[in-house]
């Protein structure tokens, strides 16, 4: 049975994955886990435990990432997660504990990354805060189980594989749309499945998340994955919740997810090299951006 499902699951196309899930009556996560077990020739339980270990690393990022005294190696960033967490836990957030909780968790993981802490690239280090923030916030605010969060990571990973196969996950190739954009799409897929959405809803959430971040450039100040990368992680998880909320309401993307991914590839190809991780354009080229680079490197 697992071998049959492996043949049916085509990770080159999100539509193929959705159709396989619909035909089997299973969530995307179950099919992906089964395929991984077959490919690796290990049990499903072993595959699950491997993914669970990554979820545990994500969880362990939050407390050290929220240390108010945390500073990056460059000294440019740190302490933002602590500020956002205080507002969230004091009930002073404009948007409530769900979104503000997601924001501080995304900042925490990203700031920990900038300070050389241990993170999970999901799918990249520059976008590492988005998926953990989505999963951990759903667990905290909506009471979803650890098992469901871990399973949702299989769904997110399938989205990442499709994007990697058809476009790119690298800022140096596709701009930040390929990093924070892909992470937002992965997180939107995970949130949608965690909230009980259908595989088709997952696909629409992916499409909406990517459309909303299409064209985002990669312009790291001083060439470091800090400014504006860290705050873009917060924006990315917010976009993931927006996309999931819309999809769960039955709102569909007019452009299918696979075509949105194709468009992302074309947009990335058309971008100037100055806007693809070279720190030659965008915010990195501003007067303040140049001053910060001088501050770090002399």
- Is the pLDDT assigned to residue 17 strictly greater than 80? yes
- Which pLDDT score is estimated for 1? 38
Rounded to 5, what percent of the chain is helix, strand, coil?
70, 0, 30
Contact 85, 140 (CB under 8 A): no
Q: Is the pLDDT score of 8 beyond 80?
A: no
* pLDDT at residue 272 in the model: 97
Q: How far apart are CA 164 and CA 261, in angstroms?
A: 10
Query: Mean per-residue pLDDT for 103-113?
Result: 98
Reported as a single tens digit per residue, the pLDDT across 139-154 is: 999 999 999 999 999 9
Token pair of 248 as six digits:
């769960």
Q: Which of 243, 150, 132 is nearest to 197 (CA)?
A: 243
Per-residue model confidence (pLDDT) at position 179: 98
- How many CB atoms sit inside 10 A of residue 227's CB? 22
The dihedral region occupied by 71, where left means phi > 0, alpha psi between -120 and 50, and beta the remainder, is: beta
Mean of pLDDT values over 251-262: 98
- The SS3 of residue 27 is coil
Q: Residue 298's pLDDT band (boundaries 50, 70, 90)?
A: confident
Q: pTM for the whole thing?
A: 0.96
Please give the C-alpha separations between residue 186 and each of 111, 120, 174, 297, in angstroms, as whole numbers.
20, 14, 17, 35
């Amino acid at each position: 049975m697992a071998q049959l499902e492996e043949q049916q699951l085509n990770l080159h196309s999100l539509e193929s994955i959705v159709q396989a899930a619909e035909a089997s009556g299973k969530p995307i996560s179950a099919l992906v886990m089964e395929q991984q077990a077959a490919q690796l020739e290990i049990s499903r339980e072993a595959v699950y435990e491997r993914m669970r270990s990554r979820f545990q690393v994500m969880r362990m990022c939050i407390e050290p990432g929220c240390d108010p005294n945390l500073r990056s190696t460059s000294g440019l960033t740190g302490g933002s997660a602590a500020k956002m967490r205080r507002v969230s836990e004091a009930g002073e957030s404009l948007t409530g504990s769900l979104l503000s909780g997601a924001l501080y968790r995304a900042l925490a993981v990203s700031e920990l990354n900038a300070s050389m802490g241990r993170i999970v690239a999901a799918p990249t280090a520059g976008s590492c805060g988005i998926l953990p923030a989505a999963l951990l916030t759903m667990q905290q605010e909506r009471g979803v189980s650890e098992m469901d969060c871990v399973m949702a990571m299989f769904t997110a990973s399938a989205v990442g594989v499709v994007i990697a196969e058809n476009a790119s996950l690298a800022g140096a190739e596709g701009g930040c749309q390929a990093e924070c954009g892909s992470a937002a799409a992965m997180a939107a897929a995970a949130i949608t499945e965690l909230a009980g959405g259908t595989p088709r809803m997952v696909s629409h959430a992916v499409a909406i998340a990517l459309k909303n971040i299409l064209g985002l450039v990669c312009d790291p100040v001083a060439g470091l994955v800090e400014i504006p990368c860290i705050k873009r992680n917060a924006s990315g998880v917010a976009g993931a919740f927006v996309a999931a909320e819309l999809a769960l309401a039955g709102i569909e993307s007019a452009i299918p997810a696979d075509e949105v991914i194709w468009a992302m590839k074309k947009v990335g190809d058309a971008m100037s090299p100055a806007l693809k991780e070279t720190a030659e354009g965008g915010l990195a080229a501003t007067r303040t951006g140049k001053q910060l680079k001088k501050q770090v490197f002399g």
